[in-house]
Amino acid sequence: MVSGALPLLPGLLLLLLLPSPLPGLTPRASVCPATCRCYSATVECGALRLRAIPSGIPPGTQTLFLQDNNIARLEPSSLAPLSALRHLYLHNNSLHTLESGAFRAQPRLLELALTGNRLRGLRGSEFAGLAQLRVLYLAGNQLAKLLDFTFLHLPRLQELHLQENSIELLESQALAGLSSLALLDLSRNQLATISREALKPLASLQVLRLTENPWRCDCALHWLGTWMKEGGQRLLSSRDKKITCAEPPRLATQSLLEVSGSSLICIPPSVHVQPLELTASLGEDLRMACQASGYPQPLVTWRKVSQPRQGRPQAQTQLEGGAPALGGPAARDTGSGMLFLTNITLEHAGKYECEATNAGGMARVPFRLLVNASRQWSGPPQSSPGPVARPPGSASRLDSGSMAFRALGLATQTAIAAAIALLALTALLLAAMICRRRRRRKKAQAPPGEGALFVNDYSDGPGTFAQLEELRDERGHEMFVIDRSKPLFAQGSAEAPAGGGGGGGQAEGPAPGLGLPPRVAYRSRC
């Protein structure tokens, strides 16, 4: 038995000398995820229609392929065990956002590919912990702006690919911290301008790509044209030097290198606010427009001059294409800014400023808001009886029309007043015409045969002064009219004395044999 057991001793000694497995390595962890392929320190899970990172990836994995899937969100727990990861490929997925510190568990990561996703914005905290990252692919996303200090956590980054996005704004400190960057690709975006300060942190830059952007060739790009002709020659290939102007129209399609410096001009901003002072009532809403012009289109900012104390209501700037934003230095709008104050209180009173800035300069106009405290509703009286109190907001409703009218510009107020005056004059003319027509109709409807006979008109028979009446026509002229209702002869004519003797006298009246027509009564009116 002893002699048979001696050959087994070398095998047992070998088993004792083998290293024990690592504490974090379990038998399940060494198994490759289903449908994925694993070899050496690489795991391939591409084009599998995955919606999440599969579980069971070995912790020692250094290269992970997850491209061409449908992953919409990175779960922090799914990447946490992969601390040894060096290369992570997540391109052509459906990522909308990245959570803060999404890659904090990968401090050794050297290459991160996020190309072809649906990222719309970056805050900067997404890349916290990636101090060793060398290459970052963000091309083909939906990024519209790069804010200040977005890449501050990437001090050793050497390549930054941002082409084929929709970037319109690159803030002056967006690339801060990228002192090791050698390649920056901003081609095929929507950049209209770029400042010299934005490229200042790039001390190690060797390749710069800015082509296929709608560049606005004005004074703000004067430095770029000069830089390209001088120190920038070594950074731009022959293809990268073809920076074409999109505006102004007179310079469209021309190369920036071919445009003279005197043609790159700007028009300083001009600001108009009307009226400059306005009185509002408590509880009302206020909208005040600030019109700004210039080239390029100025950025407009409304701000309250005196900084409000804690708890004081803030002014709001109504942006042109969206929801109201808190007023202050960051509340901006291109072209026209709308100051919007709701439920005005005494705290809103004070001095405001509308400021417009562009590459050509800055302009500012003050505006003062006064608040009428007498219109504040104090509620119904509680002690002595008095007039019935108005409900809250009734005063503001009564005066909202006048408030809105005062908020209009001077030219608009003048036009409205002129229109009202013209309407009133038209109404007076119409009333006069109607009265005149009515008078004519009354005259036309007079009874036939009824009219006035003047003293020199004897077509109706003889008359006496006893039948004349002095009248005045409608214009005040004097006239004499015959009144036929009065007798032509005296009604009390003398008759022969009764019982006269001897051939008695004859009556003074007409002879008995004189045939006179019977008396006819006439009446003439005007």
Is the bond leading into 76 cis (omega within 30 degrees of zero)?
A: no
CA distance 131 to 129: 6
Token pair for residue 395? Answer: 């005063």
Give yes or no for a contact between 358 and 297, defined as CB atoms under 8 angstroms apart.
Answer: yes
**pLDDT at position 471:** 57
**pLDDT at position 412:** 78
**pLDDT at position 386:** 37
Give yes or no for a contact between 314 and 308, defined as CB atoms under 8 angstroms apart.
Answer: yes
Query: What is the distance, to the nearest Å, from the Cα of residue 286 to the centroid of all Cα atoms in its chain?
Result: 15
What's the pLDDT tens digit per position in 365-412?
A: 999 999 988 754 444 444 434 343 344 444 444 444 444 555 566 777
Q: HSE on the CB side for 112, CA within 13 Å?
A: 24
Is the bond leading into 7 cis (omega within 30 degrees of zero)?
A: no
**pLDDT at position 313:** 46
pTM score: 0.61
What's the pLDDT tens digit per position in 410-467?
A: 777 788 889 999 999 999 999 999 998 888 877 666 555 444 444 444 445 555 555 5
Q: Which residue has 């010299």 as its token pair? A: 196
**pLDDT at position 485:** 60
**Long-range contacts (CB closer than 8 Å, 24 or more residues apart) made by 314-320:** 315/339, 315/341, 315/348, 315/352, 316/340, 316/341, 316/342, 318/287
CA distance 372 to 494: 94
CA distance 276 to 73: 51
Query: How many CB atoms sit inside 10 A of residue 443's CB?
Result: 8
Question: Is residue 151 helix, strand or coil?
Answer: coil
Contacts of 298 (CB under 8 A, 6+ apart): 269, 292, 334, 335, 356, 357, 358, 363
Residues of the chain with pLDDT under 50: 1-29, 308, 310-335, 376-403, 449-459, 491-514, 521-526
Give the DSSP letter of residue 443.
Answer: H
CA torsion sign, 421 to 426 to 431 to 433? positive
Question: Is residue 299 helix, strand or coil?
Answer: strand
Query: What is the distance, to the nearest Å, from the Cα of residue 464 to the centroid of all Cα atoms in its chain?
Result: 90
CA distance 185 to 143: 14
Dihedral of the alpha carbons of 63, 67, 72, 74, in degrees to the nearest 10? 0
- φ, ψ for residue 415, nearest 5 deg: -65, -40
- Ordered DSSP codes for 363-411: EEEEEEEEEEGGG------SSS--SPPPPTTHHHHHHHHHHHHHTS-HH
**pLDDT at position 96:** 94
Strand pairing partners for 270? 293
Closest CA to 459 of 484, 486, 477, 478: 484
Residue 518 CB burial class (10 angstroms; 0-12, 13-18, ≥19):
exposed
**pLDDT at position 309:** 53
CA distance 409 to 407: 7
Residue 235 CB burial class (10 angstroms; 0-12, 13-18, ≥19):
buried
